[in-house]
Amino acid sequence: MDILKSIDEMRAKRKAWRAEGQTIGYVPTMGNLHDGHLSLLDLARTRCDRTICSIYVNPLQFDRTGDLDRYPRTLEEDIEKLEALGADALFVPDDSMIYPRGMAHATTVDVPGITNILEGAHRSGHFVGVATVVCKLFNLVQPHVAVFGEKDFQQLLVVKRMAEDLNLPVDVVGAATAREPSGLARSSRNGYLSDTERAQAAEIYRALCACAQALRDGERDIAALEKTGIRRLADAGFKPDYFTVRSTADLESPHDSESAVDWVVLVAAQLGKARLIDNLRVIDAP
């Protein structure tokens, strides 16, 4: 696996692959890789001739300095996992490459509307940071396909809309959420959980399943279902930010004319030191 540490190296590798007529599949990450990340690379490999991962902890998308400082950096372990998987290259830019004039003077990308709700309402500036860094990375890597996990459902929609609005020639693909046997969505933030909290955290998936199944069964009192989800998580020791049913197309409140299969249940809740997010499409209810 090639480890690319500069923009020139990244551009040279991409140019060589494209000159050979090879397609490029890309997975941008912030490192601390787990099986969920690796499943994204597996999907990219089925779609393209070459697979590349990037690791960059993007300061612009953190709304709290403490979260940025404690975000786990495990580069050596990540390299071992990527090599074992058979990734073709790893791109590891630093802040000076991504923000050459510093973040205060950086040109940024804002995707209006969809970024102001849910995570956007709870994490000021988060999606400007996400859209900006992903746009920059897309320009550097120039992949044919980029794979993002559906666990971060709102982020996936933001990136898709950004790519469409800016006419970027990349197919943004969503991959199913990787879960632990308990149902807990795999996440780097799970590392903040104690063993006891990890067992508690599985209640998120159970609450999502119950709500999604009720909707599949024909329940339409969405406000009551949302209140039940909030109460269920609070009773289990969480501090919920939201538990809500939205349209999969734009994350707006569901319309009566829509089928429930076009809806998704989303949740964000604090448990101990970890803020956990997850979602479940109604169509995917077990």
Active site residues: 37
Contact of 41 with 85, CB cutoff 8 Å: yes
209: left (phi over 0), alpha (psi -120 to 50) or beta: alpha
10 Å Cβ neighbour count for 6?
Answer: 13
Which tokens is 147 given? 């794979």
Strands (E), 14-160: 24-29, 50-55, 89-91, 145-149
Residues 6+ apart with CB under 8 A from 260: 215, 216, 254, 282, 283
Contact of 171 with 138, CB cutoff 8 Å: no
Residues 6+ apart with CB under 8 A from 172: 146, 148, 156, 159, 160, 163
Q: What is the DSSP letter of 195?
A: H
User: Is residue 26 packed enough to be buried (19+ CB in 10 Å), middle (13-18) or exposed (0-12)?
Assistant: buried
DSSP characters over 70-89: HS---HHHHHHHHHHHT-SE
Which tokens is 260 given? 């429930």
| Beta pairing partners, 263 | 247
Query: Beta strands 263-271 and 239-247: pairing type?
Result: antiparallel
Contact of 151 with 177, CB cutoff 8 Å: yes
